[in-house]
């Protein structure tokens, strides 16, 4: 286990353990966060814990051209029951991602420190959000870090059925239109897999990042 101070560089991602834990400590400065994402590393920890940095052996990603939209979801999109915007209310999106209850999860990994750090990234144009509205109310959305041709998704929320899925689909279509290489989804979950995301080896993901 590598313990970082605020000036230490990250170790090589190949030194991460079997769970993907690479290092502990350091800070959440803009420079460190951007350096982390550009090198396939992301922070993930709970309130009261030190910062834990991950580089999992398998990376969940979605190549924009592999997006899968179910027939039922196509019908929902066709009905236009939602309005979707980009970067209109990043602050509220991250707040909702932080506070929404998730089944099987106690507390949140979006600590106060994390929230403040990503707001700084947003102010610098390095973090982006997607908002989903219904009857002028924010009902879903997501946010992440934008590396120009790679978008690193961080979290999403939904207050009504299919709102976060709508945000995800609109994001991927935007990435397609801008010729992004990949949407980084970090770790496996069934919801993302149903939308076309899949796991690739860490070194394959690192090769994509090298061409940024």
Give all domains of the chain, ordered by start, each with its CATH number: 2-56 (3.30.70.3550), 60-210 (3.40.630.70)
* CA distances, 114 to each of 91, 135, 195 (Å): 12, 30, 27
Residue bearing tokens 């951007």? 34
> pTM for the whole thing?
0.94
CA 98 centroid distance within chain = 13
- Residues 64 and 175: beta-carbon distance below 8 Å: yes
CA 57 centroid distance within chain = 17
Longest dimension (CA), the chain: 52
Closest CA to 152 of 7, 16, 34: 34
Q: What is the pLDDT, as a whole number, of residue 103?
A: 56
Task: Report which secondary-structure segment, H or E, holds 117.
Answer: helix 112-123
| Spans in the chain with pLDDT lower than 70 | 101-108
């Amino acid at each position: 286990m590598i313990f970082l101070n605020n000036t230490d560089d990250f170790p090589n991602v190949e030194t991460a353990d079997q769970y993907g834990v690479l290092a502990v400590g350091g800070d959440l400065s803009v420079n460190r966060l951007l350096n982390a994402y550009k090198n396939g590393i992301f922070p993930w920890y709970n309130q009261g814990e030190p910062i834990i940095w991950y580089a999992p052996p398998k990376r969940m990603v979605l190549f924009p051209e592999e997006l899968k939209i179910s027939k039922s979801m196509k019908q929902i999109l066709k009905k236009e029951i939602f309005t979707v915007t980009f970067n209109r209310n990043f602050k509220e999106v991250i707040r909702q991602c932080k506070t929404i209850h998730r089944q099987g999860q106690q507390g949140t990994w979006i600590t106060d420190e994390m929230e403040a750090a990503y707001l700084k990234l947003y102010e610098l144009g390095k973090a982006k959000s997607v908002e989903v509205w219904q009857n002028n109310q924010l009902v879903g959305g997501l946010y992440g870090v934008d590396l120009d041709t790679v978008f690193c998704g961080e979290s999403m929320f939904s207050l009504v059925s299919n709102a976060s899925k709508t945000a995800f689909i609109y994001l991927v279509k935007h990435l397609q239109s801008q010729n992004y290489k990949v949407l980084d989804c970090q770790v496996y979950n069934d919801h993302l897999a149903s939308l076309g995301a899949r796991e690739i080896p860490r070194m394959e993901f690192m090769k994509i990042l090298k061409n940024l």
